[in-house]
C-alpha cells in the first residue's frame, strides 16, 4: 500500500468541528453492522406479485406515459432460499440487482437480460461466495487498462454479524468480476478488509481516469473499529489490475488537523448545539473521475478533487440549518456536474431541537465547489405524514438518479418519484410510480426505461417511451 499523504483541509470546516466521544451504540445507522438498517422486507413470490393490486402511475409532461412493463421476482439462490432485493444498476442492456439480508443473505448479484424489457430474464448469479455477507451495491463500467479490457463489476460486501468468532471466513470488502459476458461472470479479485471488526463496504463507486480504473469505497466506522489507521471510512483503490487492488489513499474525520489525537468516536459537537453523527455512507464521482462526492451523514456531502488520487484535496461541503438533521445519504449530479442532488435518509421524523420531517431532497449549485449554495428543498406528501406507521424508512427518500432535466428518486413506500429540475431552484414532481406494498430501494435510468429494485418484489421495469413502444413494451427498432 502506498503511503497516505496529508490531506489539505479548508480552515472554515476545521473551525466548526469539536468532536466528542460517544458509545458506538448511539451511532446513527449503526445497524449496518448486522446488515439490516431496519429495512427488512417481506419477500413476495412471483405468484404473489401477480396478485398484488395494480400499480398507480400518475404523471404529466414528458413522463405521462411512464408505465410498468415488468415486475419480476429474483429466483431462489443456489441454496433454495429466497432473498430480497437491494440496489440496482444497468449496463449494456443488462440489469445487475444486488441483494439484502432476507433469509440469511448471500443472495449475490442477479443479472437480468433486458433485451425485451417486458420480459426480463435472470441469466446469472455471482458474488455470493463469501459466507455470511450481503451484496447491496454493484457498479459496472467498461474499463480499458494495461491489465484488463472489458466490463468490470465491483460488488460491496458486508458481514451480517460483525467479527463473530463462529464465522472466521466472513469478511467485508469488495469483489471484482469480469462481466464482459454477463451470462458467465468471472471473479478477478477481492479487496478484503482483513480486520473483521470492520463490517465491510456499504456503498462504492467505480470510475476511470485515462487508462486507470479507480474504486471508491464507503466503509462506515472503519477507523473507529480498528483504531490503527489501517482502514478508513473513505478509501480510493487502484483496480487497474482487478486481480491486485491497491489502496492509494484514505480519509476519515481524524484526518482533520484540529481533531484531538485521542478521538475515537464518530460524533462531533456542532456549533448549533447538536451532537451530530459522522460516517461515510456513500460516494460518487463526476463522469470524468475528477471530483468525488462523499455522503458523510451530518458532515454533509464532502467534495474532494481526486485528479491526483494519491493526494486528493478537500474543496468544500454542504451544511444544514440548526434545526435540520443532516443524514447525507446519497448524491447525484446534474447540469454537467454544476448541480448537486443530496438525498437525506431520515426514518425518525422527530427529535429534540429538530424539525419534524422525514428525509427529503436538497439541491445545490456547486459551480464553486468550495461553496455549495442551496437552491431548493424538495419534499413530498410523505415528508410530513406522521400517521401510523411513524419512525419508519417507508416515508423517507432514499437514492437519486438524474437523466437530463429529470430527477428520479427511490422512495420506499412512495415507489419511484420523478421530478422536473429544469429550474433547480423550483423542482416539480411530474410523475409517481407506486406499486401495491411498494418498498423501493434503488432506481436507475437506462436507454428507454427506468428500472427499480423493490426489496420484497424484485425487479421493476418502467418504460418511458412516451407511448412509442409496441404492445409488449419493447423499444422501437
Give the contacts of 284 (CB within 8 A, at least 6 positions apart): 205, 292, 293, 330, 331, 332, 333
Phi-psi region of 225 (alpha: psi -120 to 50; beta: other; left: phi over 0): alpha
Average pLDDT over residues 173-194: 98
Lowest-pLDDT range, 19-33, 112-126, 456-470?
19-33
- pTM of the entire structure? 0.90
Confidence of residue 39 (pLDDT cuts 50, 70, 90): low
* Average per-residue pLDDT for the chain: 86
Per-residue confidence (pLDDT) for residue 224, from 0 to 100: 82
Per-residue confidence (pLDDT) for residue 265, from 0 to 100: 61
Instruction: Compute the CA torsion angle 195, 198, 200, 201 (nearest 10 deg).
Output: -110
Per-residue confidence (pLDDT) for residue 38, from 0 to 100: 46
Query: In whole angstroms, what is the distance from residue 297 CA to residue 283 CA?
Result: 11
Lowest-pLDDT range, 24-28, 90-94, 99-103, 258-262?
24-28
Average pLDDT over residues 119-146: 97
C-alpha distances in angstroms, 295 versus 51, 299, 332, 342? 38, 8, 11, 8
Residue pLDDT, tens place only, 412-455:
999 999 999 999 999 999 999 999 999 999 999 998 899 999 99
Per-residue confidence (pLDDT) for residue 29, from 0 to 100: 46
Confidence of residue 53 (pLDDT cuts 50, 70, 90): confident
Q: Looking at per-residue confidence, does 403 or 391 come out higher?
A: 403
Average pLDDT over residues 87-107: 95
Query: In whole angstroms, what is the distance from residue 369 CA to residue 306 CA?
Result: 13
Q: What share of the chain is helix, strand, coil (3-state, %, to 5)?
A: 10, 40, 50
- The answer to whether residue 4 scores a pLDDT higher than 60 is no
- In the structure grid, which three cell numbers stand for residue 286, read together? 463526476
Per-residue confidence (pLDDT) for residue 262, from 0 to 100: 54
Per-residue confidence (pLDDT) for residue 254, from 0 to 100: 67
Does CATH place domain 1-28+127-135+143-391 in 3.30.1380?
Answer: no
Give the contacts of 319 (CB within 8 A, at least 6 positions apart): 300, 372
Give the bridge partners for 456, in sequence order: none
Segments making up each domain of the chain, as ranges: 1-28+127-135+143-391, 35-124+397-471
C-alpha distances in angstroms, 410 versus 39, 88, 156, 240? 14, 11, 20, 32
Residue pLDDT, tens place only, 249-294:
998 766 765 454 555 567 777 778 888 888 899 999 999 999 999 9
Lowest-pLDDT range, 300-309, 389-398, 468-477?
468-477
- Percent of residues, the chain, with pLDDT higher than 70: 84
Per-residue confidence (pLDDT) for residue 386, from 0 to 100: 96
- Distance from CA of residue 141 to its chain's centroid? 16
Query: In whole angstroms, what is the distance from residue 280 CA to residue 299 CA?
Result: 9
Q: Looking at per-residue confidence, does 307 or 46 come out higher?
A: 307
Confidence of residue 102 (pLDDT cuts 50, 70, 90): confident
Q: Is 239 helix (H, G, I), strand (E, B) or coil?
A: coil
Query: In whole angstroms, what is the distance from residue 356 CA to residue 167 CA?
Result: 41
- The answer to whether residue 195 scores a pLDDT higher than 90 is yes
Residue of 311, 310, 376, 316 whose CA lies nearest to 342? 376
Amino acid at each position: 500500500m502506498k503511503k497516505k499523504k496529508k490531506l489539505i483541509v479548508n480552515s472554515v470546516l476545521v473551525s466548526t468541528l469539536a468532536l466528542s466521544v460517544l458509545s458506538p451504540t448511539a451511532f446513527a445507522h449503526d445497524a449496518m453492522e448486522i446488515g439490516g438498517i431496519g429495512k427488512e422486507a417481506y419477500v413476495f413470490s412471483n405468484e404473489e406479485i401477480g396478485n398484488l393490486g395494480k400499480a398507480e402511475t400518475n404523471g404529466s409532461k414528458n413522463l405521462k406515459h411512464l408505465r410498468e412493463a415488468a415486475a419480476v421476482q429474483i429466483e431462489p439462490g443456489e441454496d433454495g432460499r429466497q432473498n430480497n432485493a437491494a440496489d440496482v444498476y444497468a449496463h449494456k442492456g443488462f440489469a445487475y440487482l444486488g441483494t439484502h439480508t432476507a433469509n440469511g443473505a448471500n443472495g449475490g448479484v442477479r443479472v437480468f437480460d433486458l433485451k425485451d424489457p417486458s420480459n426480463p430474464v435472470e441469466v446469472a448469479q455471482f458474488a455470493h461466495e463469501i459466507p455470511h455477507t450481503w451484496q447491496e451495491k454493484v457498479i459496472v463500467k467498461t474499463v480499458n487498462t494495461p491489465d484488463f479490457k472489458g466490463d468490470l463489476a465491483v460488488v460491496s460486501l458486508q458481514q451480517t454479524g460483525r467479527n463473530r468468532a463462529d464465522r472466521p471466513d466472513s469478511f467485508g470488502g469488495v469483489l471484482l468480476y469480469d462481466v464482459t459476458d454477463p451470462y458467465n461472470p468471472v471473479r478477478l479479485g477481492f479487496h478484503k478488509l482483513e480486520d473483521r471488526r470492520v463490517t465491510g463496504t456499504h456503498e462504492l463507486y467505480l470510475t476511470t481516469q485515462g487508462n486507470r480504473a479507480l474504486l471508491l469505497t464507503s466503509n462506515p466506522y472503519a477507523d473507529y473499529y480498528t483504531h490503527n489507521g489501517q482502514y478508513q471510512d473513505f478509501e480510493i483503490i487502484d483496480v487497474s489490475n482487478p486481480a491486485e487492488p491497491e489502496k492509494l489513499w484514505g480519509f476519515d474525520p481524524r484526518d482533520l488537523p484540529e481533531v484531538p489525537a485521542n478521538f475515537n468516536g464518530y460524533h462531533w459537537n456542532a456549533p448549533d448545539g447538536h451532537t451530530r453523527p459522522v460516517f461515510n455512507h456513500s460516494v460518487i464521482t463526476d463522469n470524468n473521475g475528477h471530483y468525488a462526492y462523499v455522503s458523510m451523514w451530518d458532515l454533509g456531502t464532502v467534495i474532494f478533487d481526486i485528479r491526483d488520487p494519491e493526494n486528493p484535496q478537500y474543496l468544500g461541503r454542504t451544511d444544514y440549518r440548526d434545526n435540520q438533521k443532516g443524514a447525507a445519504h446519497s448524491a447525484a449530479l446534474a447540469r454537467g456536474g454544476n448541480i448537486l442532488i443530496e438525498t437525506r435518509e431520515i426514518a425518525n421524523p422527530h427529535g429534540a431541537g429538530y424539525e419534524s420531517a422525514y428525509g427529503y431532497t436538497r439541491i445545490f449549485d456547486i459551480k464553486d465547489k468550495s461553496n455549495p449554495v442551496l437552491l431548493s428543498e424538495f419534499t413530498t406528501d410523505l415528508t410530513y405524514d406522521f400517521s401510523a406507521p411513524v419512525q419508519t424508512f417507508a416515508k423517507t427518500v432514499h437514492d437519486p438518479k438524474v437523466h437530463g432535466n429529470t430527477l428520479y428518486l427511490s422512495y420506499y413506500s412512495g415507489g419511484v418519484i420523478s421530478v422536473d429540475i429544469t429550474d433547480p431552484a423550483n423542482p416539480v414532481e411530474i410523475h409517481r410510480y407506486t406499486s401495491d406494498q411498494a418498498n423501493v430501494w434503488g432506481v436507475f435510468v437506462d436507454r428507454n426505461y427506468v428500472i427499480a429494485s423493490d426489496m420484497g418484489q424484485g425487479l421493476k421495469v418502467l418504460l418511458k417511451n412516451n407511448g412509442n413502444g409496441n404492445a409488449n413494451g419493447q423499444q422501437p427498432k
